[in-house]
Structure 1
Amino acid sequence: MKEFTTVLRSQVDQAKQAMAVARRVGHDYEVHLHGTRIRDLLDVAARHGIDTSDWVDRAALDDARLGA
């Protein structure tokens, strides 16, 4: 399970970095897509009982919703 958690965390970190780049260049739709990917990954983690409370700033993730 540790390897699964490590890979999942890495994917979340990659999506967070991509979302930050998209936000910096003003690509709102890409911000939304990366935010959706992060939420999907967090859902997978939750289904496996993995604590992700310190992985993502939830306020920044909420800001990534389309139309936010």
Structure 2
Amino acid sequence: MPLLHFTGILSLETNFEISYGFIGGESKEFAYVHIKSFRSMCDCYRIYPKVFITNKDSSLKNAI
């Protein structure tokens, strides 16, 4: 089971946890569910990420 982990970086060069969860499989549909919930959380707090860093996982890149 792959782990999807969202982390933020502050201007003081420190990291903070946003969310994380295990993905049920390595397909685009499974990753899309987590991306969609992350997006709705960002919309709620009016936070809009500018950069996504992945590990070359094609299903995750397609979901983003």
TM-score, with normalisation over the residues of structure 2?
Answer: 0.41
More helix per residue: 1
Kindly indicate whether structure 1 or structure 2 has the higher relative contact order, using CA contacts under 8 Å at least 6 residues apart: 1
